[in-house]
Amino acid sequence: MKKYRPNVAAIILSPKYPEKVEILIAKRTDIDAWQFPQGGIDEGESPREALLRELKEEIGTDEVEIISEMPEWLKYDFPKKIAEKMYPFDGQTQKYFLVRLKPSAKINLNTEVPEFKEYKFVSLNDVFKYVKSFKRPVYKTVIDYFKKQGYL
């Protein structure tokens, strides 16, 4: 039976939301890939607590307003190379949040263990010009969900 690592992920909107819909994507330090910030849920931590901790660890700020969360957990399998690195997990099960950066938030990628080397805000239509990885189907599902809910 496959084993999935519990994880949280965030679609981060700029402080200009709702007037302008811009989504943060970040380029990883270890591989040439753009993605939404995400990370594992520690033992005894709620998904919301994990979300705020991960944002602080990955983009240097947890100054966000949670707009919505997707009710379902989404699963994806790791490609073989990543599965070897993430052993004993075969993939991740993710809880997605839609958040807006507060105007006072300061993004700082130079964190204790930098995971990203670059970030940018892109339009909804441009997300998939950058995100080319195995996460694409999950991202499409999440974006479609928040669109149907009237947030995007």
What does pLDDT average to over the chain? 96
> What is the structure's pLDDT at 132?
82
**Mean pLDDT (whole number) for 116-123:** 98
- How far is residue 2 from each of residues 72, 109, 133, measured CA to CA in Å? 19, 33, 21
Domains and CATH numbers, the chain: 4-148 (3.90.79.10)
Percentage of residues in the chain having pLDDT higher than 90 = 95
| E-state strands within the chain | 4-13, 22-28, 34-35, 38-40, 64-69, 74-77, 91-101, 116-123
The CA distance from 99 to 114, in Å, is 21
pLDDT for residue 19: 97
For residue 105, pLDDT beyond 90: yes
C-alpha–C-alpha distance, residues 55 and 101, integer Å: 11
Residue 35 in this model has a pLDDT that exceeds 90: yes
How large is the average pLDDT for residues 50-56?
98
The whole-angstrom separation of Cα 63 and Cα 55 is 9
Instruction: Give the predicted TM-score (pTM) of the model.
Output: 0.95
